Amino acid sequence: MRKTVFILSFLILAFGCREPYEPEVSQESVSALVVEGYLDTEGLESELLLSRTVSIGAEATFAPEIGAKVTLYGENGRTFSLAEKEPGVYTIAQNMPEDMEYQLEIELRTGELFESETMKPIITPEIIDAGFLQDEEGVEVFVTTQGDENADDFLWTFEETWIYRPRIRVPYIYDPKISNVRDRTQAEKIDLCFKNETNPDILLETSSRFQDQVVFRKTITEIPQGDERIMERYSILISQKAIDSEAVQFWETLKRNTEDIGSIFSPLPSQISGNIKSVGDSGIPVVGQISMGVVKQRRIYINLTDVSPWGYLDPEFNDCAIGLEEVRSQNYKTAFGDGSVLPARGLMEGTTIVAYYPVDRRCADCTLYASRVKPDFWEDD
C-alpha cells in the first residue's frame, strides 16, 4: 500500500505540476532571399519565385521580392529576360538550346546582385503512364516513367482543379431594378465553380534504384474517401522534371527539414544553400535552387461516376436547408435586398409563382468558396 502511495505521489509531482514552456525567440530580423524555380527549355511557361523569409508567428507566409531584374545568360552570348507576372513571380516562355550551359542573374531593386551556378539543361523522359487506383480508403494518383543515363533523378509537382458545387442550387435572383425576383442569367449563375490548388509536397525518386530504371506507379497524391475534390469532376496536371544530383541533395534536405520541423524556413540558410550565391558582400543571405530542362506533363480527369459511391458530405453545411416559410412579393426587398438570403424555390399558385422560399447565401453561392471562371484547359465529359 505504501509503495502504491509513493508511486502515485511521484506521478502527480512529475506530470501534474508541469507548466507550458515557451522559449524566447529573438526578434532580430533575418531576412533571407528565397529563390525557387525550374525553367523549361521548350517554351512551356516557367515560374521563378523570389521571396523573403518571414518571422516566426507572422501572419503572412509569403513575402514576395518585387521589382527584381532577372536575366538568364547562355554561354553563346544569348540572354533571356524573365518578366514579373505578379508580385514575386517571374516568368519565361522561350525555346532554348539544351546543348549549352546557362547562368541566372538576379539584381534586386536595391542593387544587391545574386547569381546561380552554371546549369546544364536535362531532357526529361516522357511520362509512360498516369492514372489512379481506388480502394476503401480513397483514390491514389500515380505516374510511371523510366530514367536513362542522362536523367536518373526526378522531381514531380502537380496542380489540382475540381468542380465545386454549393449544397443548394438557386435558379432565382432578386433584382432591385425591378423590385422583383427573376430567373438568373447565365452570367449570374452561382451553382458551378472551380477550385484550384498547387500542392507544396516535395516528390522525389531515383530511377536507378529500380530494375531497368522503371519507376512504376509512383504515388503523386492520395485523395481520401469522401473528399470534396471528387464531388463531381476532378483534374490533376502532373509535371515531371529531371534534376541533377546537387538538386536532389537540396530538395532532400529541404524535405527532411520540412517534415521534421514543419516549416520550410526553419533551418538556417547556411544549412540549405542550394545553387544560388551572393555576388560581392550584399549582407543578404540566400537560399534556393534553380534547375533547367524539359518538363513533361500529363493531365488526367476523375469523375464522380468513376469512384462511386464516394459519399462526399461537408459537415459545415449540415444545417443548410430551404426555409419553410415563404416570402411574399411585398417582402422581397426586406428579405432578399442585402443578398445574404436568396430566393431558392418558388411557390406556385396555378401556373404563377406567387412567393419564394428562402435560403442562406452561404449554402447556395459557390462564388463564396471558389471561382466561376472555367479554366482554359478544362474538358467536360
**What does 121-141 look like in DSSP terms, one character per residue?**
-EEPPPEEEEEEEEETTEEEE
Q: Is 234 exposed, middle or buried (0-12, 13-18, 19+ CB in 10 A)?
A: buried
The answer to whether residue 50 is domain-embedded is yes
> pLDDT band at residue 256, thresholds of 50, 70 and 90?
confident
pLDDT over 80 at 56, yes or no: no
Residue 30 in this model has a pLDDT that exceeds 70: no
Is the pLDDT at 234 greater than 60? The verdict is: yes
Residue 307 pLDDT exceeds 70: yes
Domain containing 258: what range? 33-123+245-292
Dig out the grid coordinates for 286 from the structure.
540566400
Instruction: Write the single-letter amino acid at 113.
Output: L
Q: Look at residue 266 and give its three-state secondary structure.
A: coil
Question: How far, in Å, are 167, 209, 225, 374 from residue 251 at the CA level?
Answer: 41, 18, 30, 34
User: What percent of the chain has pLDDT above 70?
Assistant: 87
Asked if pLDDT for residue 22 goes beyond 80, the answer is no
Q: Which residues contact 298 (CB under 8 A, 6 or more apart)?
A: 127, 130, 143, 237, 238, 240
SS3 309: coil
AA letter at 8 = L
Rg (CA), the chain: 28
The answer to whether position 230 is within a domain reads: no
What is the C-alpha separation between 115 and 98, in angstroms, rounded?
20
CB atoms within 10 A of CB 259: 9
Question: Is the predicted pLDDT of residue 227 greater than 80, yes or no?
Answer: yes
At residue 64, the pLDDT reads 95
Kindly indicate the confidence band of residue 273, based on its pLDDT and cuts at 50, 70 and 90: confident
Tally of CB atoms within 10 A around 160: 17
**pLDDT, averaged across the chain:** 89
Q: Could you tell me if residue 20 is inside a domain?
A: no
- pLDDT at residue 232 greater than cutoff 90: yes
The answer as to whether 211 is a domain residue is no
Residue where the block lists cell 524573365 = 82
Asked whether residue 200 carries a pLDDT value surpassing 90, the answer given is no
Torsion angle of alpha carbons 334, 335, 340, 344, nearest 10°? -150
Instruction: Say yes or no to pLDDT of 25 above 60.
Output: no
pLDDT of residue 3: 43
- pTM of the prediction? 0.85
Cell numbers placing 242: 529531371
Between 222 and 264, name the one with better pLDDT.
222
Please, is 242 exposed, middle or buried when counting C-beta atoms within 10 Å of its C-beta (0-12, 13-18, 19+)? buried
Q: What is the pLDDT of residue 54?
A: 78
Tell me whether residue 349 is in a domain.
Answer: no
Phi-psi bin for 77: left (phi > 0), alpha (psi -120 to 50), beta? left
Q: What is the DSSP string of 136-179?
A: TTEEEEEEEEE--SS--EEEEEEEEEEEE--SS---EEEETTTT
Cβ-Cβ contacts under 8 Å for 105 (sequence gap 6 or more):
70, 71, 72, 73, 113, 114, 115, 116
CA 225 – CA 235 distance, rounded (Å): 16
Residue 266 lies in a domain: yes
Lowest mean pLDDT among 92-106, 231-245, 260-274: 260-274
Q: Tell me the residue type at 307.
A: V
Identify the pLDDT of residue 284: 87
Cell numbers 435560403 correspond to what residue? 359
Give the range among 55-64, 242-251, 330-339 with minimum mean pLDDT. Answer: 55-64
**Residue 64 located in a structural domain:** yes
- pLDDT for residue 260: 53
Structural domains in the chain (count): 1
High-pLDDT (> 90) share of the chain, %: 80
Residue 21 has pLDDT above 70, yes or no: no
In a domain, 278, yes or no: yes
Burial class (CB in 10 A: 0-12, 13-18, 19+), 344: buried
* 205 contacts 221 by C-beta, under 8 angstroms: no
**pLDDT tens per residue across span 278-294:** 998 777 899 999 999 99
